[in-house]
Amino acid sequence: MSSTVFREELFNTLCNNSPIGIYIVQDGSFRFVNPKYCIMTGFSEKELLKMNSLMLVHPHDTDTVRKQAVQMLKGRRTEPYEFRFIRKSGEIIWVIETVTSIQFGGKRAALGNFMDVTERKRAEKDLRESQERYRTIFENTGTAILIVREDTIISLINTEFEKLTGYSKEEVEGKISWTDLVQSDYLDRMRECRYRRRIETESVPGNYESKILDRNGNVMDVILTVSMLPCSKKSVVSLLNITERKKIEEQLKYLSLHDSVTGLYNRAYFEEEMRRLEGGRSPELGIIVCDVDGLKLVNDSLGHDSGDTLLIAAASVIKESLRTSDMAARIGGDEFAILLPNSNTSVVENVTKRIRDSILKYNEVNPQLPLSISIGFAVGREMPPNLTDLFKEADNNMYREKLNRSQSARSAIVQTLLKALEVRDYITEGHADRLQSLVVYAAREIGLSERVVTDLSLLAQFHDIGKVGIPDRILFKPGPLDTEEKVEMQQHCKIGHIIAMSPPDMIPIADWILKHHEWWNGQGYPMGLKGEEIPLECRILAIADAYDAMTSNRPYRKALSHQEAVAEITRCAGTQFDPNLVPIFLKVLENKLYQKK
């Protein structure tokens, strides 16, 4: 499973199981809502995605919500805030919300976390009205609550607090300070917040994010809601565990800045960093542009998992070659860029040398899929630096190098694929050599030119190179393939054609590789060609390939005898095989021009 799919599944799992309503709003309209948000609002996902978010806000609170949105759009993180919300049923509820700015679809959007606090609001009112009602709500509200004395000692907790922290009433009440629960980095802030609550109006609760420790020392992210008890020096504190929500926020933030495959920064972050550096005071700044050679060939022949492996390797050799002050990003499918602040030409050249050296070391350890990267760089010395022009210069230099090395890189990949096929296809050991002899004898018997004979020999060697892109579960299956597996196996013709189009010396046989499984009656694949629409070379190879395959052992059957194979070829003349070529091939066998090794 790729890292991109894993992260999407993790995001969906967290959102779908979150006890907090989560949504994404862009340009005033909902773009995403989780199931909990639908339950809390009473609206279906389909209904919400057609609505403006302010339609659900109580008219008296729209200004409050707009002000928070303005703060968020300015890039400022909003503290949790409360407002009244109108459910689909018309019911008005109080909610607490935190809004964070994120990048969604390349544009700024708001990630909101939404919780119904109506019960808590009612509980606060009831506390002032009746001590008995307070006790009932205190124990049954579903939120962890504690009462804190002026000397910071916890005087009372409820059962939800016990569940959240693992502490019992006996361990906590009258014995532990609230400061013992708060992570040390947050203590000063919490003391300041508590002091502010004492000098500000006591009727409005304050909401703060913090980190607390449970009985086992585990850290939890929580929202603390702090209220001063009327006519008392005690505070009421409710805790909401938002650890999962924070993980989602951090994941979304990470994904908005990083490439999901390589873990490097993405293009959006790279461009933002370029804008930042253009406003800097240092004129010396370098840019390196790198492009992975042959990535499309690897993707098309071995699949995107192998392509991703190559990208991850490229990211690794680039990253390990940089200084701590340098920044690398994947800015395109096969393209990377590096920003090198405070760098002269010598520094940038040293970095490119380290990248090339790292590639050589990587290929020594990983010969099965060689890594090749074209590199170009540029160094600026002007004030203020124009990074757009500098990037274009580096990109042009990279493409000049790529033109010089792309052909050799593709040829190296093809040779690697051929070696990989030789290692994997152990069940047909010697098949290519036997096939070369068969087609050469048959072609000469027909009277074809030596040039065609040479190309046929090359076809016999490379006709199945596309099998490198077929999974082992199919290639080595000890039995007949099912329908889906047959379709997947048939892709090897197209894969082989793609591979053969890369090196110049294989281009003449690329079309034959594509068509070497076509049948005389049009029932073959991948194009369904019929009769003489099929190249003569493919028709020759088809008979020779079938004979050698039948007289060789396979995982799902034993080899047939020479007589049995000849009978089967004769039977298939006019259907699978060219009926005019079958007698010629059988004559080659009968005259013993070819002796099976």
CATH number at residue 585: 1.10.3210.10
- 138 pLDDT exceeds 80? no
Q: Each residue of 119-130: pLDDT tens digit?
A: 888 877 776 666
Statement to judge: residues 295 and 416 lie in one domain: yes
The answer to whether residue 468 sits within a structural domain is yes
Determine how many CB atoms are found less than 10 A away from the CB of residue 325. 10
- Asked if residue 575 is part of any domain, the answer here is yes
Model pLDDT, residue 468:
77
Comparison of pLDDT for 302 and 165, the residue scoring more? 165
C-alpha count within 13 angstroms, C-beta hemisphere, residue 187: 10
Q: What is the pLDDT of residues 185-237, one digit of tens each?
A: 777 666 665 545 444 444 445 677 888 888 888 888 888 787 777 767 787 88
User: Which of 342, 217, 214, 345 has the alpha carbon at shortest distance from 277?
Assistant: 342
Number of domains in the chain: 4
pLDDT of residue 457: 85
User: 472 in a domain, yes or no?
Assistant: yes
Q: Which of 68-72, 471-475, 482-486, 592-596 bottoms out in mean pLDDT, i.e. has the lowest?
A: 592-596
Q: Is the same domain home to 344 and 332?
A: yes
DSSP state of 201: -
Q: Are residues 449 and 357 in the same domain?
A: no
Element (H, E) at 210: strand 206-213
- Does 391 map to a domain? yes
Question: For 446-465, how does the pLDDT look when each residue is reduced to its tens digit (9 = 90+)?
Answer: 888 888 888 888 888 888 88
Average pLDDT over residues 254-259: 86
Please give the pLDDT value at position 597: 43
pLDDT of the residue at 452: 83
pLDDT digits (tens, 9 = 90+) for 433-449: 788 888 888 888 888 88
Give the confidence band of 596 by pLDDT, cuts at 50, 70, 90. Answer: very low
| Residue 147: domain span | 120-247
- Across residues 550-568, what is the average pLDDT? 81
Q: Is residue 494 located within the same domain as residue 400? A: no
Q: Look up the CATH number of the domain holding residue 105.
A: 3.30.450.20
Higher pLDDT, 340 or 137: 340
Residue 462 lies in a domain: yes
Q: Which of 136-145, 182-191, 511-520, 561-570 has the lowest mean pLDDT?
A: 182-191
Same domain, 182 and 86: no
- Which range, of 96-105, 119-128, 352-361, 530-539, averages the lowest pLDDT? 119-128
Domain end (from 375, 398, 420): 420
Ramachandran angles phi, psi of 481, nearest 5°: -80, 145
Check residue 199 and give its pLDDT.
Answer: 43
Worst-scoring range by mean pLDDT, 1-15, 73-87, 404-418? 404-418
* Residues 112 and 159 grouped into a single domain: no
The answer to whether the bond into 384 is cis (omega within 30° of 0) is yes
- Domain end residue (candidates: 247, 267, 286): 247
Contact 112, 25 (CB under 8 A): yes
User: Which DSSP string do the residues of 48-98 spell out, in sequence order?
Assistant: HTTSBGGGGB-GGGHHHHHHHHHHHHTTPPPPPEEEEEE-TTS-EEEEEEE
Query: What is d(CA 69, CA 78) in angstroms, rounded to the nearest whole number?
Result: 8
Q: Note whether residue 148 is domain-resident.
A: yes
pLDDT at position 427 over 70 = no
pLDDT of 499 > 90? The answer is no
Are residues 441 and 508 located together in one domain of the fold? yes
Whether residue 229 sits in one domain with residue 152:
yes
Helical packing angle, 243-257 and 3-17, nearest 10°: 150
The whole-number average pLDDT for the span 146-170 is 84
455 lies in the same domain as 489: yes
Residue 571 scores a pLDDT above 70:
yes
| Mean of pLDDT values over 111-137 | 76
Confidence of residue 264 (pLDDT cuts 50, 70, 90): very high
**Top-confidence residue, 36 or 196:** 36
pLDDT higher for 124 or 27?
27
Closest CA relative to residue 321, chosen from 271, 359, 293, 287: 359
Q: Tell me, what's the pLDDT at 370?
A: 85
Q: 322 exposed, middle or buried (CB, 10 Å; 0-12, 13-18, 19+)?
A: middle
Q: What is the pLDDT of residue 593?
A: 46
Query: Which residues, in sequence order, are CB contacts of 76 under 8 Å at separation 6+?
Result: none
pLDDT on residue 570: 92
Rounded CA-CA distance 48/126 in Å is 34
pLDDT at 203: 46
Per 3-state DSSP, the chain is made up of helix, strand and coil in percentages (nearest 5) of 55, 20, 30
Closest CA to 275 of 351, 339, 352, 336: 339
Q: Are residues 541 and 437 in the same domain?
A: yes
Task: Tell me which of 416-420, 445-449, 524-528, 573-577 is least confident.
Answer: 416-420
Query: Is 252 within a domain?
Result: no
Least Cα distance to 345 among 286, 289, 396, 394 occurs for 286
Q: What is the pLDDT of residue 551?
A: 86
Range from 88-92, 138-142, 474-478 carrying the lowest mean pLDDT = 138-142
Range in 60-74, 75-89, 189-203, 418-432 the model is least confident about? 189-203
Q: Which residues contact 384 (CB under 8 A, 6 or more apart)?
A: 278, 279, 280
- Which of 247, 279, 297 is the last residue in one of the domains? 247
pLDDT for 201: 47
How far from chain centre, in Å, is Cα 191? Answer: 42
Helix (H, G, I), strand (E, B) or coil at 1: coil
- 161, 230: one domain: yes
Q: What is the 3-state secondary structure (H, E, C) of 472-522?
A: HHHHCCCCCCCHHHHHHHCHHHHHHHHHHCCCHHHHHHHHHHHHCCCCCCC
Mean pLDDT of 513-535: 92
* pTM for this entry: 0.52
Residue 224 lies in a domain: yes
Please provide the average confidence, as pLDDT, over all residues in the chain.
82
Residue 321's pLDDT band (boundaries 50, 70, 90)?
Answer: very high
pLDDT at 539: 93
* CATH at 354: 3.30.70.270
Co-location of 272 and 212 in the same domain = no
